[in-house]
Amino acid sequence: MQLALFDLDNTLLSGDSDYEWTLHLVNKGVLDRDVFEHRNMEFYEQYKAGTLDIFEFLDFQLQSLADNSRADLEAWHAEFMATSIVPMLAQPARDLVKRHQDQGHLCALVTATNSFVTGPICRELNIPHLIATIPAQEHGQFTGKPRGTPAFREGKIARVEDWLEAMGLWWGNFERSWFYSDSRNDLPLLLRVSDPVAVDPDQTLRAHAQTADWTILSLHQ
C-alpha cells in the first residue's frame, strides 16, 4: 500500500484559494474593499514569510462564512470555481494526481484552507479524501470559528494521523508515502513522509530540498 498527499495552494493550484476567495467576495461587494483587501494581503504575506498566526487568520477568514446565508455562499462559490479556480488548475497538476490514482495509491488533499472553500476543488480534482481546516457549523450555519485542530504546520500531521487512524491505518502500513508542497509551512509533514516533493517551492523550502536532495518539481512553469 502507498500513500500520496497533496497540498493545494500554489502546489496543485497555481494560486492561493484562501486569498482568491476573499478577493472574490470583495469584487462582488460582499466585503468592504478598503478593509478586507489590505488585510487579506497582509495575512498572505505573513503566510509566505512563515509568520502566520493561524487562529488570528481564521477569525478573519471564517467570519464571512458566518455573516452570510449558506445559499448565498454556495452560489458565490460556484462562480468562484468557474472564474478563479478552474483556470488555476493546470493539466500537469491534474496529471500528477491521476498518475498516483492509476497506481492504486491512497490519495488525499491536505490543506490549511477551510473545507468550504476547498471541498469543491477536491472534487474537481477527483481526489477522494480531503483533510482541511474545518469551519464549525450549527444547524447548517457557519459559526465563524474552526472545529478541532487547523490543518496547518504540525496540525497537518495530527489531522493526517487522525484520518489514517479512523480507517484502521498508520504510517507503517505504507511502503512509500509522498507529500507534495510548495511551502516552508509544510516542512513538518514533508519530513514525515518517505518521499517529500517540493513543488515550485518558496526560497526556504527550495534551499532545504536542495540540501536534503529532495525531488523538486514544477507544475506551473
Q: Using CB atoms within 10 Å of the CB of residue 170, give its burial: 0 to 12 exposed, 13 to 18 middle, 19+ buried.
A: exposed
Catalytic positions, written as ranges:
7, 9
CA distances in angstroms from 88 to 57, 69, 200, 202, listed in the order given: 23, 27, 14, 18
Q: What is the Cα–Cα distance from 89 to 136, expressed in whole angstroms?
A: 28
**DSSP codes, 140-191:** TEEEEEEESS-SSTHHHHHHHHHHHHHTT--GGG-SEEEEEE--GGGHHHHT
